[in-house]
Amino acid sequence: MALSYEIKCINKSDRTNIHERIVNIGGIKTDGNRWKISQQEAIAAIETNKWQFYVGQGVNKVDVIVAESAAGYKYLRTKNDTTTTNNLLSLPECP
Protein backbone atom coordinates (compact mmCIF):
# COMPACT_ATOMS: atom_id res chain seq x y z
CA MET A 1 0.00 0.00 0.00
CA ALA A 2 1.27 3.43 -0.94
CA LEU A 3 2.22 5.93 1.74
CA SER A 4 0.01 9.02 1.72
CA TYR A 5 1.29 12.60 2.06
CA GLU A 6 -0.48 15.95 2.26
CA ILE A 7 0.75 18.57 -0.20
CA LYS A 8 0.95 21.91 1.60
CA CYS A 9 2.95 23.98 -0.90
CA ILE A 10 4.14 24.09 -4.50
CA ASN A 11 6.72 25.86 -6.61
CA LYS A 12 5.48 27.24 -9.91
CA SER A 13 7.32 27.98 -13.12
CA ASP A 14 6.73 31.17 -15.06
CA ARG A 15 4.78 29.29 -17.73
CA THR A 16 1.16 30.24 -18.35
CA ASN A 17 0.07 26.74 -19.41
CA ILE A 18 -1.68 25.19 -16.42
CA HIS A 19 -0.23 21.76 -17.31
CA GLU A 20 3.35 23.05 -17.07
CA ARG A 21 3.14 25.36 -14.06
CA ILE A 22 3.99 23.08 -11.13
CA VAL A 23 7.70 22.37 -10.70
CA ASN A 24 7.80 21.00 -7.11
CA ILE A 25 5.35 19.90 -4.45
CA GLY A 26 6.06 19.84 -0.74
CA GLY A 27 4.72 19.36 2.73
CA ILE A 28 5.62 18.60 6.32
CA LYS A 29 6.58 15.15 7.61
CA THR A 30 5.14 13.77 10.83
CA ASP A 31 8.45 14.61 12.54
CA GLY A 32 8.01 18.30 11.62
CA ASN A 33 10.65 18.39 8.88
CA ARG A 34 9.77 19.68 5.43
CA TRP A 35 9.81 17.57 2.28
CA LYS A 36 9.88 18.72 -1.35
CA ILE A 37 10.09 16.72 -4.58
CA SER A 38 9.76 17.51 -8.27
CA GLN A 39 6.51 17.03 -10.12
CA GLN A 40 8.23 14.32 -12.20
CA GLU A 41 9.23 12.44 -9.03
CA ALA A 42 5.67 12.69 -7.71
CA ILE A 43 4.21 11.41 -10.97
CA ALA A 44 6.58 8.43 -10.97
CA ALA A 45 5.75 7.67 -7.32
CA ILE A 46 2.00 7.76 -7.98
CA GLU A 47 2.29 5.61 -11.09
CA THR A 48 4.37 2.96 -9.27
CA ASN A 49 2.06 3.09 -6.23
CA LYS A 50 4.98 4.14 -4.00
CA TRP A 51 3.23 7.27 -2.69
CA GLN A 52 -0.17 8.93 -2.79
CA PHE A 53 -0.77 12.64 -2.34
CA TYR A 54 -3.72 14.74 -1.28
CA VAL A 55 -4.64 18.35 -0.58
CA GLY A 56 -6.65 19.47 2.45
CA GLN A 57 -7.89 17.52 5.44
CA GLY A 58 -11.02 15.87 6.78
CA VAL A 59 -14.08 16.38 4.59
CA ASN A 60 -12.05 18.80 2.42
CA LYS A 61 -9.43 16.14 1.56
CA VAL A 62 -8.99 15.73 -2.21
CA ASP A 63 -6.71 13.13 -3.81
CA VAL A 64 -4.02 14.18 -6.28
CA ILE A 65 -3.85 12.18 -9.49
CA VAL A 66 -1.76 12.08 -12.65
CA ALA A 67 -3.51 13.59 -15.66
CA GLU A 68 -2.41 13.85 -19.26
CA SER A 69 -2.91 16.81 -21.59
CA ALA A 70 -4.08 16.40 -25.18
CA ALA A 71 -0.43 16.79 -26.20
CA GLY A 72 0.59 13.85 -23.96
CA TYR A 73 2.17 15.94 -21.18
CA LYS A 74 1.70 14.34 -17.73
CA TYR A 75 0.94 16.63 -14.81
CA LEU A 76 -0.55 16.60 -11.31
CA ARG A 77 -4.10 17.65 -10.57
CA THR A 78 -6.70 16.95 -7.94
CA LYS A 79 -9.73 14.77 -8.49
CA ASN A 80 -12.89 16.72 -9.14
CA ASP A 81 -14.40 18.12 -5.98
CA THR A 82 -16.93 20.75 -4.94
CA THR A 83 -14.62 23.75 -5.39
CA THR A 84 -14.10 25.73 -8.57
CA THR A 85 -10.58 26.83 -7.63
CA ASN A 86 -7.49 24.87 -8.60
CA ASN A 87 -6.59 23.09 -5.36
CA LEU A 88 -2.90 22.71 -6.21
CA LEU A 89 -2.19 26.04 -7.90
CA SER A 90 -3.83 27.91 -5.04
CA LEU A 91 -1.34 26.51 -2.49
CA PRO A 92 1.44 28.78 -1.18
CA GLU A 93 4.97 28.67 -2.55
CA CYS A 94 7.37 26.17 -0.93
CA PRO A 95 10.43 27.65 0.75
pLDDT given for residue 1 in this prediction = 76
Would you say 88 and 23 are in contact if contact means Cβ atoms under 8 Å apart?
A: no
pLDDT at residue 17, as a whole number: 64
Q: Are 78 and 85 in contact (CB under 8 A)?
A: no
Whether residue 46 lies inside any domain: the answer is yes
Residue 88 lies in a domain: no
Per DSSP, the residues of 41-80 read: HHHHHHHTTSEEEEES-GGG-EEEEEEE-TTS-EEEEEPP
Look at residue 90 and tell me if it is in a domain: no
Residues 6 or more apart from 19 whose CB is under 8 A from it?
67, 69, 73, 75
Q: How many domains does the chain have?
A: 1
pLDDT digits (tens, 9 = 90+) for 45-95: 999 999 999 998 777 889 999 999 888 989 999 987 556 566 888 899 999
pTM of the predicted structure, to 2 decimals:
0.87
For 43, the domain range is: 3-78
pLDDT at 83: 60
**Mean pLDDT in residue range 18-47:** 92
